[in-house]
Amino acid sequence: MPAIAREAQLFEAARAREIAFARASAAFFLATGIDLATAMGAEGEHKAAIRRRVQRLLERERLRGGARHWSYDLNRHIALKQALAFIDLGLPAGECTKAKTAPEDAVLTLGTMTA
Give the pLDDT score at 104. Answer: 54
More confident residue, 35 or 64: 64
Give the pLDDT score at 107. Answer: 55
Give me the percent of the chain exceeding a pLDDT of 70.
77
Give the global pTM. Answer: 0.61
DSSP states of the chain? --HHHHHHHHHHHHHHHHHHHHHHHHHHHHHHS--HHHHHH--HHHHHHHHHHHHHHHHHHHHHHHTT-TT--HHHHHHHHHHHHHHHH---GGG-SGGGSS-TT-EEETTEEE-
Q: What are the sequence ranges of the domains in the chain?
A: 3-114
Give the pLDDT score at 63. Answer: 93
Give me the percent of the chain exceeding a pLDDT of 90.
22
Give the pLDDT score at 102. Answer: 52
User: In this predicted model, what pLDDT tens digit does every residue of 67-106 receive, in sequence order?
Assistant: 999 989 888 888 888 888 888 876 543 344 444 445 555 5
